Amino acid sequence: MGKTETKSRFLKATTLAIIGVLLLVFSAVLLLWHGNANSMQAASAMVAGVYFDGEYRIADGEWHKIVEGEHISSTEGDVTLRGNFHMLAPDGEYVGIYSDSIPIALYTNHINLTFFEGENEPYVIDVENPLYGYSACHEDWAAYTPTSGGEEPIKILIHNPHSFGNETAIDEMLSRTALWADIEFEKAALESGKTQRDIGLLFAIISLIVLGTALFSTLIHIKNSKIIWLFGIVILFAGAYLSYSADGVSFWNESVVSNTTILGCSMMFYMFFLSIALVHFLKGTKMIGTISVVFLGLVDAVIFILPLLTDILFYDTWLYWVAVQILANIILLGCLMREFFVTKGKERWLYIGLVLPLISFGVDVIMTDLGLWKGGVSSKYVFVVFFVAAMVAVLKVIPNSINALAKAKELETEKIVLNAQLTESRVSTMMSQIRPHFIYNTLGSIEQLCNINPEKAGELVHNFAKYLRGNFGELDNPKPILMSQEMEHVHHYISIENVRFPDMTFSFEMNSDDFHIPALTIQPIVENAIKHGLMKLQKGGTIRVVSYETDTHYCVRVEDDGVGFDTDVLLDERKHVGIRNIRGRLKAMVNGTLEIESIEGVGTKVLITIPKEAK
């Protein structure tokens, strides 16, 4: 087993081990989270010592009895409650109408409360009151102390300044009413959201590790560093949303303005960068996905900047953001479905997984609007699933990318070696063509023609000079040349040989010459045809060069009607360095091939094929 294979197996084993540990950890986290969700109600029940009993009406409608567990809409108009707070003993036994001096804690989810008791001045808990500031729209706990001692019913006017997004606000307020028993109440409220905040902080910490890994990957030019960046950013904003949507956040961070802003921005940026990550995995529909994400980004920028420049509350922009995000999600869902149907194999599971966060976002919007739950409940669970998937992907991408980088460096080294070999091949080919006997024979022909035909001697000198220039020029030419240029060199060579062998016939059929071929490819083949084919005939002989193209390849065929030979002998390229060099340069420079067919007593055919993408 080689070192590379051993290293690869070690990386795979390590990755699987880490994945297993992560799955165990987050299985435990989910169980704790589920247990915490149930304990929240238990903690609330222990703290709660009061409840509101009476009736309600929406706007100017009819009065209805307040029934525990029955939904009261907070988005259909102002709601008025009429009745009294009643006290419960710690064991849940009914005591009577509440008349103590301990303040009552009321959970307000973006709603304003005005209390009317007898002749007293109305008591206002209003996020739009100048005392709080107009930008203080938030979820918070508010304190109220009844003053009438239960002698008269209390009226509570509940106003939702937004009319959307907090459909369950009144249900939450009534079900979570408690006694504000100083620090004990605050501790219980903080404890109820502790597990979710801890998971959010864990996400944030790990996201910083992932982002650090992404930075390192970028610096060493790892191919898939972009998706590592996206995973890190998505995990960061998912962690922020988990932390700031947990119970008791107003006691964890008393800046209620920043709580609302961070909560909204974290979900906005989570969905935006998640959308970019989804587009990264698209193929045939990448352009459509990219356009939708660019549009989403522009709208997000406007929504983010608008509250900074105008009096519009940041919370009031959420409805428009949700509408645009859903539109983008629908487009991305269509893209993912299309990719699913055109993809085969295991990759289909990827597109199924990518659909989950889009669907969970839509489910949360619908359920929040219907008042069945508040905020991104299903998205929170998808956060955990996505986190595990992202960790698995990062742990898989990094080793694979490092291996790919190592292989790329190996290929670069091989390329340097190959270039050196090609240079050596070009020199070898050039030197094999300029053999001393060829030079002697050509000079001898020139000497004879000087006496009997000076004009033809001059022409031969001209062709010989062109021939030598073509061969020596090949030493400095690492790139392929046009076929038309190669044929010029062939014609110069043939003109020289035709002086010595005037009975030989040469035929050319150039149906295509606008493609590239390594220099000194056709001329050595023609020379071999003369030397090993025609010169062994009693007289004459024909060499034919044909070029043509198919739908996928450019082809050159050199054929002669010489004596032919046993191709098994030729295939021993150790004895035929010229053929080996030509074949090697064809493969390395234009991905071409060279095939030889020969029949003894009939002739030889050499076929060169070059893929069109190598043009």
- For the stretch 571-593, pLDDT in tens is 454 445 577 778 888 888 888 99
Task: For Cα atoms 332, 338, 341, give the angle at the middle one, nearest 5 degrees.
Answer: 140
The residues with which 558 forms a beta bridge, in sequence order, are 545, 606
pLDDT at 1: 47
* pLDDT value, residue 276: 93
Q: pLDDT digit string (tens) for 395-408?
A: 666 666 666 656 66
Task: Report the range of poorest mean pLDDT among 363-367, 437-441, 611-615.
Answer: 437-441
Higher pLDDT, 35 or 390: 390
Q: What CA dihedral angle connects 196, 200, 201 and 207, to 10 degrees?
A: 160
Largest CA distance in the chain: 142
pLDDT in the model for residue 363: 85
For 54, what's the count of Cα atoms within 13 Å in the CB-facing half-sphere? 19
- Residue 318 CA to residue 166 CA, distance in Å, equals 12
Distance CA(220)–CA(233), nearest Å, equals: 20
* pLDDT over threshold 80, residue 303: yes
At 426 the pLDDT is 53
Residue 206 region by backbone torsions, left for phi larger than 0, else alpha for psi between -120 and 50, else beta: alpha
- Confidence check: pLDDT of 306 > 80: yes
CB atoms < 10 A from the CB of 101, how many?
Answer: 7
Per the DSSP assignment, residues forming a β-bridge with 116 are 155
What tokens appear for 412 in the block?
């670069």
Please say if the pLDDT value at position 615 is more than 60.
no
Q: pLDDT-derived band of residue 470, with 50, 70 and 90 as boundaries?
A: low
pLDDT at res. 130 = 46
Per-residue pLDDT at 256: 74
Q: What is the chain's mean pLDDT, rounded?
A: 78
- Give the list of residues 6+ apart from residue 92 with CB closer than 8 angstroms, or none: 45
- Which one is predicted more confidently, 384 or 237? 237
Asked which of 137-151, 401-415, 428-442, 486-500 is least confident by mean pLDDT, the reply is 428-442
Cα–Cα distance for residue pair 365/328, rounded to 1 Å? 14
Task: Output the pTM of the full model.
Answer: 0.57
Residue that wins the pLDDT comparison between 260 and 516? 516
Token digits for 547?
A: 């070029």
Lowest mean pLDDT among 106-115, 136-145, 301-310, 317-326: 136-145
Beta strands 542-549 and 505-510 are: parallel
CA 424, chain centre distance (Å):
43
Residue 147 predicted with pLDDT over 60: yes
Q: What is the pLDDT of residues 152-171, one digit of tens each?
A: 889 999 988 776 778 888 99
Long-range contact set of residues 406-415: C-beta below 8 Å, sequence gap at least 24: none
**pLDDT for position 82:** 94
pLDDT for position 509: 93
Give the least confident one: 261-270, 318-327, 400-409, 421-430. 421-430
Of residues 209 and 130, more confidence is placed in: 209
CA 93, 98, 104, 110 dihedral sign is positive
pLDDT (mean) for 212-237: 82
Task: State how far the Cα of 565 lies from the Cα of 546, in Å rounded to an integer.
Answer: 21
Mean pLDDT in residue range 119-126: 82
Mean pLDDT of 267-279: 92
Least confident range of 75-89, 103-117, 324-338, 395-409:
395-409
Calpha distance 423→474 (Å, rounded): 9
Number of CB atoms found within 10 A of residue 247's CB: 25
Q: How far apart are CA 293 and CA 278, in angstroms?
A: 10
**pLDDT of 178:** 86
Q: How far apart are the first and last CA of the chain?
A: 41
Q: Which of 608, 593, 577, 307 is nearest to 435 (CA)?
A: 577
